[in-house]
Amino acid sequence: MNIIKDILIAIVKSILVFIGEISTIIKNILIVIGVIATYYMVSLQIDYGITSKVISEIISPRLHSNAMEKVYMPMANKLLDTGDIAMASIVRTKVAKDLSNEDIEEAMESIAIERSIRSVGMLGLSEMVELQTGKKQRYLKIYQYCSPTIAMEMVDYSDAFSAYLPCRIAVIEDLQGQRWLYALDLNFMIYGGKPLPPELHKKAIKVKKTMDAIQQGGAAGDF
């Protein structure tokens, strides 16, 4: 019995020594992580003055509660995946292959009328360049839509929103011949900053839903 007891004691001691060693390793790793994090936080504060602002935002939030989920994390993921800041700020939809360009346009214009948003312009860029150069171009046409009263309310809230006007959808043929519909991600406007006033938020959501419907319907040829 004494032999078994001694063996058990030895095993327990070995386990405790192992746990102690693991704890030391974990502690050292955490210290290294802390040092690195502190270095970058100090560097970001010195170079850009951002660390104190992030800490202030954590303590007393001003941004929309969905800002990280709907804007900044998706944008960061796309940016790191593609290295393309433009791609990180847009939404795109693949066009069904059996649709003609006329089908896409007819579907989008029909949905715009149904949803009571104005079609305020079309810009056939590829056609313009073909006329100027005499060389065939891959297809690119931009469609512009606007709800004037909501647009003015957005600008009354912030002049900077004028840069979003009018809402645009680009129909573009990629280098492999696949057509896509591209539009700015309106989540940036709705969720990217401090919360919009409730009534303005509802109207902004309405515009987003309308533009989403036009984009999805155009890509599928749905009227």
The CA-based angle 96-165-155, given to 5 degrees, is 145
Please give the CATH number for the structural domain made up of 67-220.
3.30.310.70
* Model confidence pLDDT, tens digit, residues 113-155: 999 999 999 999 999 999 999 999 999 999 999 999 999 999 9
The mean pLDDT value for 30-36 works out to 82
Gap between the Cα atoms of 209 and 95, Å rounded: 19
* Model confidence pLDDT, tens digit, residues 164-210: 999 999 999 999 999 999 999 999 999 999 999 999 999 999 999 99
Q: Which helix (H) or strand (E) holds 37?
A: helix 2-48
- Expressed in angstroms, the distance from the first to the final Cα of the chain is 86
Comparing CA positions, the residue from 157, 180, 169 lying closest to residue 95 is 180
* Model confidence pLDDT, tens digit, residues 73-120: 999 999 999 999 999 999 999 999 999 999 999 999 999 999 999 999
pTM of the model: 0.79
Q: Taking the domains of the chain in order of start, what are their residue ranges? A: 2-59, 67-220
